[in-house]
Structure 1
Amino acid sequence: MNAHVAGLTSRDCETVSRTLGFIAANRFERPTLVVDADAVAAKYQALARGLGRARIHYAVKANPAPGILQRLVQEGSHFDAASRAEIEMCLAAGAAPHQITFGNTIKRPADIAFAHGAGITHFAADEREELDKLAEHAPGARVCLRLIVEASEADWPLSRKFGCTPEKALKLMGCARDRGLRVDGLSFHVGSQTREPRMWAGTLEQVAQVWRQAAAAGYELSLLNIGGGFPASYGTDMMPAEDYARDVMALVDTHFSDVPAVMAEPGRGLVAEAGAIAAEVLLVSRKHDEDLHRWVYLDIGMFSGLAETMDEAIRYRITTDRDHEATGPCILAGPSCDSADVLYERKPYQLPLGLKGGDRVVIHSCGAYTSTYASVGFNGFPPLDVLVI
C-alpha cells in the first residue's frame, strides 16, 4: 500500500508516506498505531515558525507515547500536563520542571503537592477552592485563570466544563493575591478543530476585554495562554500549519499588542496526521440476502481507540489493498459485544466490494486521541499498541 491512494491530498501523502511504508512492510498481531516522530517534529517546527514569540506547550493528553515526548523535548517543546501521571511521563522523557505546566483546573491536593515538590511552578485554576488547594500545597505558585468563552465556530466548542466568567475571574485575582499566589495571566480554549484562523477573532476579543478590566483594576498580567484548537486534516484540506499559526498570532497581536508572553497548547494539530492505525477486517456480512448495505466488522472499534467516531464526529480516512476495486456502501463496526460499537452508519462508508475477513485496512490521521481513549481491556480486547518510528 503506497502513499498515493484514493482520498489523500498531496500534503497528506508527504505527511504519512513513512508511516504507510512501515505499515506495508510489517505485520501486526493486533491493531497498532504507528506514529512518525519525524512528522511530529516537522509539524512542531512549522507551528513554531508561525507562532513566533509564542511558546508551545504540547498537550500531552493527545498522545503521551514516550517516543513522541522524547522527540518534542529534543525540539525544545514545553508541555501541558493534566495529571501527575502526565507530569511523570514528561520528566521521564527529559523535560525540565520549568518546561511543564499543570494545566488541569481540577486537581487532587496530593498531585498539586507532588508537582510543587518536583519543581513545577505554573498551574491553572478557575475556582476559589482550587486556589485554596494551591495556596496550601504549592505556596507562591504562578496561576493562569481559565475563562469561559462563548461558543465559537469550532467543530467542538469547549465552553462549559472549564473556566469562569469574566466577573468571577476578577474576583479570583484578588483571592489569589490574598493567598500569596501570583496570577500570571488568562487562558481559554477556542474549541477543538477550529478550522480557520478568522474563527479566533471573537474569542480573542472576549478575553481582551477581561484583560483590560484586570489592568484597570490594578492587576499586571503578563501571560496569555491561547490553548489548543489547532486543527488536523481528516480528509479535507487545511491551511498549512505555519500559515495558520501566523494568522492566529496576527489576531493575537491585534487584540493584545502589549502582552509580554504568549503560550499555545496544540495537541491534535501537532500529532494527529503523523499517525495511522494498521487494522484488519474480521467479518463482512449482510443481515438478509437482499440487504443493500454490508456490515464490515474491524478488529478495532469505539472502545479500542476510535472513540471520536461517536456520533460520527470524525470520519477517518480508511484505505485498503483493494482500493483499485469497485466500492459500495457499508456500515462499519467494531469487534466488541456492545451494540453501541458502530462507527459509521448514518452516512454509510464507501469501501471495496471485494473486502473480506483477513484484509488489512489502514486508518489515517490517528495520531491523536486514539491510544489515550483505548480501554484497558473491554471484552478482553487489549489496549491499542503504539509504535513510534
Structure 2
Amino acid sequence: MTTVRPETTENIEPIPGRHNNQAILQVINEKILEKTDRRPFYIVNLNDIVNKHKHWVELMPRVKPFYAVKCNNTEPVVKTIAALGAGFDCSNSAEFQQVLTHGVGTDRIIYAHPCKDPQDIKRASEQGVDLMTFDNEYELVKVKNLYPDARLVLRIHPRVDKTRYTFGKMYGCALDQCNELIVRAKEMKLTVVGVSFHIGDTCFDSMAYQNTIRLCREIFDEAKAIGYNFSLLDIGGGFPGYAVKGKPTFADVAKDINTALDEYFPKEENVVVIAEPGTYYVQSAFTLALRVIGKRVLRSAASDMDHEQSFLYYLNDGIHGSFFFTVLVDKAIPGFRVIKDQKQMPVYQCTVWGPTLDPIDCLANDIQLPELDIGDWLYVPNMGAYTIVAVTSFNGTARPDLFYLASGEIPSEIGV
C-alpha cells in the first residue's frame, strides 16, 4: 500500500478497499468522538482522485488533463495528481512553483492566465515555464519585452448557451478579432502554437464543445495562411465533478468532445489536445463535516403547535469559510446531511447560518431538516472544488482540519 505524505498540519489514514460513503461516514464519526470541541473538518478520499484520472484516460484518451491548481491546491492533492502523470494549469507563479516542487517538468505546465502579472512572466522565464495564453495585444507586448521565447496560445471566446457562469466578458479574444491578433503576433516575431478556450463552469450546453472546437479548426486554418503551423488545442475546463440527475454527465461531455475532435482534428494531424479540469478531479473527493453551534426556534404567530415551528441553526463554517463559491457564486443550496439517526424523525422548515456576524452569512433558507441540538453534526459531500482555497480569517473563521485517506497503490505515472 502506498500513501501520500500530507502537510505537517494534516493527517493521512489508509482505509483498506474501495472508499464508499459508509467508510467515510465511519471516519467522520471516529473524528467527532476524538474531540468535543473539534472545528469543521474534511475527509479527503485520495483514491477518488485516482479513479477520476483513470476514468478520464479511458473516456478521452486523446485529451491530456492539465489540472487547474486554483481549484484546490492542497499538497496531497497536487502530489497525487503529479504522480498520476497529469499536467497542470497554473494561473500565477505561486502555482507553477508549487507544482515544480513535486518534480513536474515544465512540459507538463501551461501558464493559462490571459492577463499575467509582469513579475510572474519574469519568473516563468527564469523557471522555463514557456507555454502561456494570451487574448489581446497588450499581453503580446508584455511577453515580447519579458519572455520573447515563450510559446503562446490564443484564448478565444467559446460558443456556449447554457452554463452557470462564463469568462466571456473577462477573458478571451472575440472571434472577429482573432485573425488581426494572430497577424500582430507574427509581426512581433512571437511564437504562437495553438488555440485555447474555456466553456465556463459546469457546462450544460451539450453542443458547446463541438461548436467551439469547429471554430478552433477555422482559426487553425487562418493561422496557417498567416504563416503559423499550430500544433496545440486546449479545450479548457468546466467538466462536472459528479453526476447530477437530468444534467449531462462527464461521459456525455466526453462523447461530444471525441466526436468533434475526430471530425475537425483527426489523429493523423498530430495536434496535441489538452484540457484544464479542476472540479472534475476533486469535487467528489472531499466531504465536509461541521457542527451546530447555535439554535433558535421560530413559531407561527397564529399557533404554538409544534408543527408550525421552524428552526434557525448556526454552524461552525459559513460563506467566509468553505461555502463562499457554493452559496455566493454558484447560488446553490449545500447538500446538508444529518449524522444522527433520523428514522421516523419529523422535519421542519429551517434556515441555516454560518458562524460570523455578517448578515449575508446565510447558507440556506427554508430547507427541510429534523430538529437538531447544539453539538450535533452534519456533513456535506462533493465539497472539494473552490472550497478550502477560499477560506478566510474573517470574524475568526476557523480553517477546517483536513484528514486524508488513501487506499491502494498510486502509480508513479499513468500514461495519458
Normalised TM-score (structure 1): 0.88
Instruction: Say which is worse superposed, 18-27 or 68-77, in terms of deviation.
Output: 18-27
What is the percentage of aligned positions where both structures have the same residue?
Answer: 26
Corresponding residue to 1:378 among 394, 397, 416: 394
Deviation at 1:278, TM superposition (A): 1.1
Give the structure 2 partner of residue 50 of structure 1.
59
Distance 1:115 1:216 in 2: 30
Give the structure 1 partner of residue 125 of structure 2.
116
Tell me: CA distance 1:240–1:78, structure 2 relative to 1, closer, same or farther (3 Å): same
1:279 partner letter: L
Give the structure 2 partner of residue 129 of structure 1.
138
Corresponding residue to 1:336 among 340, 348, 356: 356
Larger radius of gyration: 2
Unpaired runs of 5+ residues, structure 1, are: 1-12
Corresponding residue to 2:290 among 270, 279, 293: 279
Structure 1 residues 161-240: aligned runs within 5 Å = 161-195=170-204, 197-233=206-242, 236=245
Deviation at 1:91, TM superposition (A): 1.4
User: Does 1:20 find its partner at 2:25?
Assistant: yes
Tell me: CA distance 1:240–1:378, structure 2 relative to 1, closer, same or farther (3 Å): same
Deviation at 1:237, TM superposition (A): 6.7
Contact 2:134 2:140 in 1 (8 A): yes
1:267 partner letter: G
Tell me: CA distance 1:173–1:198, structure 2 relative to 1, closer, same or farther (3 Å): closer
Corresponding residue to 2:276 among 265, 268, 281: 265
Give the structure 1 partner of residue 328 of structure 2.
310
Distance 1:262 1:311 in 2: 30
Give the structure 2 partner of residue 91 of structure 1.
100
Distance 1:255 1:154 in 2: 24
Contact 1:19 1:274 in 2 (8 A): no
Tell me: CA distance 1:50–1:339, structure 2 relative to 1, closer, same or farther (3 Å): same
Tell me: CA distance 1:295–1:246, structure 2 relative to 1, closer, same or farther (3 Å): same
Give the structure 2 partner of residue 365 of structure 1.
382
Deviation at 1:101, TM superposition (A): 1.2
Contact 2:243 2:249 in 1 (8 A): no
Instruction: Say which is worse superposed, 289-298 or 31-40, in terms of deviation.
Output: 289-298
Deviation at 1:43, TM superposition (A): 0.4
Contact 1:280 1:360 in 2 (8 A): yes
Give the structure 2 partner of residue 349 of structure 1.
367
Deviation at 1:265, TM superposition (A): 0.6
CA RMSD in angstroms, aligned pairs only:
2.3
Corresponding residue to 2:156 among 139, 147, 162: 147
Contact 1:281 1:356 in 2 (8 A): yes
- Relative contact order: is structure 1 or structure 2 higher (C-alpha 8 Å, sep ≥ 6)? 2
Deviation at 1:244, TM superposition (A): 3.9
Distance 1:148 1:155 in 2: 16
Normalised TM-score (structure 2): 0.83
Distance 2:72 2:21 in 1: 17
